[in-house]
């Protein structure tokens, strides 16, 4: 009796256990410019009180996400900014409507799309502003990498 | 950039067949790797500081454009808190050479009674926060900043290039070593970045320092030692203040 009910219990447990979200990095190699340069400037050229040591810059990106693998399904797309050199950064962006505007700090991700995938590509133009502590910029330049991720 | 590595496959084999087989194997392996790749590329932004270094030094009157506004800002129209442009301001170039002077009464010349000097500078407010930091004309403002992207406790020195003596039209001399100053600032505490001292005649003298990404300022009150009997006249001399970045 006990042995026969065990498989049934397992089946019930498995059925009620929430499916873990599967995260996959999206191919955005068609984004233009794919590798861009951004000259960041002191937000406060003179360290007047209260001193702000942030440097920032804005660039425009034509994002093109290849979502073919998720065509005719639903998903949530996140923009991620992995923790990396030169240290803590924050990014904010405006869009033209296909993706959600938002902001995030390095080491985190933010939802930019949720819904059905009806076309092989999702495209939008992002006005992206990056802010970083200027006192951490010891090198002439840093390569900052972003990712788009799909949660199913 | 990754460091160059020694190629472990330098020797492929002695025959063309072996080379071909290796290439085929490499090709298949490459195809397999491509097929199993799960991390597509992601866009990259290369950031670089546009103007990493800025220096500003002001002795006496100075020029700053852009209204100072504290945070939160009380100006009208209101500027939202944490707006990147507030508080802002751009340092300008001001070619004014201010004077510090004293007229010693004839009866007191050389009697050792210290003579307090005054300045023709009208600058009492600090551009740091528009606070009346100094008391002109009794005090001369000196301040500035050093903007840089590098971290650490770096600072730059401010020097004074001091002539050997003040002179009058007759060629009489009065040593610059007879002039001293004390340093303070309204509501200021702690050590002054530009402390009190006495001019070193005929030398380049370090008179203070500015820590990176900070505003340094002091108010100087000058005095003449009045220990020497000199010929009547107007004695003048110019001291040049210099801040230099590494």
What would the DSSP string read from start to end of A86-134? Answer: TS-EEEEEE-SSSSPPEEEETTEEEEEEEEE--SSEEEEEEEEEEEEEG
What would the two tokens of residue B123 be? 């600058």
Q: What's the number of domains chain A is made of?
A: 1
Distance CA B239, CA A78 (A): 61
Q: How far is B135 from chain A (nearest CA, A)?
A: 20
pLDDT number for residue B2 = 31
Greater pLDDT, B28 or A125: A125
| CA distance to partner chain B, nearest, from residue A113 (Å) | 17
Does position B158 have pLDDT exceeding 50, yes or no?
A: yes
pLDDT beyond 60 at A31: yes
The answer on pLDDT for A11 being more than 50 is no
Tens of pLDDT, residue by residue over A15-28, are: 444 456 789 999 99
Whether the per-residue pLDDT at B66 is higher than 90: the answer is no
Among A6-10, A93-97, B103-107, B232-236, which is the least confidently predicted range? A6-10
Check CB contact under 8 Å for B149 and A55: yes
Q: Is residue A83 part of a domain?
A: yes
Nearest to B56 among A35, A46, A54 (CB): A46
Chain A residue with minimal CA distance to B67? A48
The answer to whether position A98 is within a domain reads yes
Name the closest residue on chain B to residue A34, using Cα atoms: B43
CB B148 within 8 A of CB B201: no
pLDDT greater at residue A140 or residue A64? A64
pLDDT at A75 over 80: yes
Contacts of A35 in chain B (CB under 8 A): 43-46
Q: Which domain holds residue A45?
A: 20-151
In a domain, A141, yes or no: yes
**Residue B191 predicted with pLDDT over 60:** yes
Residue A71 belongs to a domain: yes
Chain B contact for A11, CB < 8 A? no
In whole angstroms, what is the distance from residue A67 CA to residue A27 CA? 8
Q: Which pLDDT band, with edges at 50, 70 and 90, does A43 fall under? A: confident
The Cα–Cα gap between A41 and B54 comes to: 11
Predicted confidence band of residue B80 (pLDDT cuts 50, 70, 90): low
Q: Strand B155-162's sheet: what is its strand order?
A: B203-211, B155-162, B240-243
What does the alpha-carbon distance between residue B215 and residue B144 come to, in Å, rounded to a whole number?
A: 6
Find the CATH number of the domain harbouring A42.
2.60.40
- A37 within domain boundaries: yes
Count A/B contacts: CB-CB distance under 8 Å: 155
> With 70 as the cut, is the pLDDT of residue A47 above it?
yes
DSSP per-residue letters across B14-56? SSHHHHHHHHHHHHHHHHHHHHH-------EEEEEESS--EEE
Interface test with A, best of B35, B41, B43, B129 (most A CBs within 10 A): B43
User: Looking at the complex, does the CB of residue B63 fall below 8 Å from at least one CB of chain A?
Assistant: no
Q: A50 — contact with chain B (CB < 8 Å)?
A: yes
In chain B, which residue's Cα lies nearest the Cα of A62?
B43
**Distant-in-sequence, close-in-space partners of A82: CB < 8 Å, separation ≥ 6:** A106, A107, A145, A147
Residue A39 lies in a domain: yes
- Whether B234 shows a pLDDT value over 50: the answer reads yes
* Chain A hits for B49, Cβ within 8 Å: 39-41, 55, 134, 137, 140
Domain ranges of chain B: 54-243
In this complex, the residue of B39, B46, B87 whose CB is nearest that of residue A141 is B46
A146 lies in some domain: yes
Q: Which residues of B touch A130 (CB under 8 A)?
A: 45, 47
Nearest-by-Cβ selection for A144 from B45, B50, B215: B45
């Amino acid at each position: 009796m006990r042995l026969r009910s065990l498989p049934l219990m397992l089946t019930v447990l498995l059925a009620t256990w929430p499916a873990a979200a599967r995260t996959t990095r999206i191919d955005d190699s068609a984004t233009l410019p794919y590798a861009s340069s951004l000259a960041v400037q002191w937000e406060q050229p003179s360290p007047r009180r209260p001193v702000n040591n942030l440097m920032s810059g804005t660039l425009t990106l034509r994002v093109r996400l290849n979502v073919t693998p998720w065509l005719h399904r639903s998903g949530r797309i996140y923009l991620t900014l992995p923790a990396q050199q030169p240290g803590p950064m924050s990014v904010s962006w405006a869009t033209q409507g296909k993706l959600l505007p938002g902001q995030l700090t390095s080491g985190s991700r933010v939802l930019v799309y949720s819904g059905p995938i009806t076309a092989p590509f999702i495209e939008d133009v992002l006005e992206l502003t990056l802010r970083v502590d200027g006192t951490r910029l010891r090198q002439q330049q840093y390569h900052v990498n972003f990712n788009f991720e799909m949660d199913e | 950039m990754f460091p160059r590595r020694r190629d472990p496959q330098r020797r492929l084999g002695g025959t063309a067949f072996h080379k071909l087989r290796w290439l085929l194997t490499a090709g298949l392996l490459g195809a397999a790797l491509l097929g199993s790749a799960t991390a597509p590329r992601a866009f990259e932004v290369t950031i670089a500081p546009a103007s990493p270094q800025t220096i500003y030094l002001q002795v006496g009157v100075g020029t700053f454009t852009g209204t100072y506004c504290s945070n939160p800002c009380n100006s009208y129209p209101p500027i939202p808190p944490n707006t990147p442009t507030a508080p802002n301001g751009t340092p300008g170039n001001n070619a004014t050479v201010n004077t510090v002077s004293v007229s010693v009464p004839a009866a007191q010349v050389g009697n050792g009674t210290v003579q307090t000097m005054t300045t023709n500078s009208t600058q009492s407010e600090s551009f740091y926060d528009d606070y009346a930091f100094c008391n002109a004309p009794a005090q001369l403002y000196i301040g500035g900043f050093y903007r840089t992207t590098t971290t650490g406790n770096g600072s730059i020195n401010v020097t004074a290039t001091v002539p050997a003596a003040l002179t009058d039209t007759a060629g009489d001399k009065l040593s610059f070593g007879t002039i001293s100053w004390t340093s303070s600032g309204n509501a200021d505490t702690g050590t002054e970045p530009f402390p009190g001292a006495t001019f070193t005649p005929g030398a380049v003298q370090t008179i203070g320092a500015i820590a990176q990404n900070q505003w340094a300022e002091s108010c100087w009150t000058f005095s003449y030692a009045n220990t020497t009997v000199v010929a009547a006249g107007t004695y003048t001399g110019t001291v040049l203040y210099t801040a230099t970045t590494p």
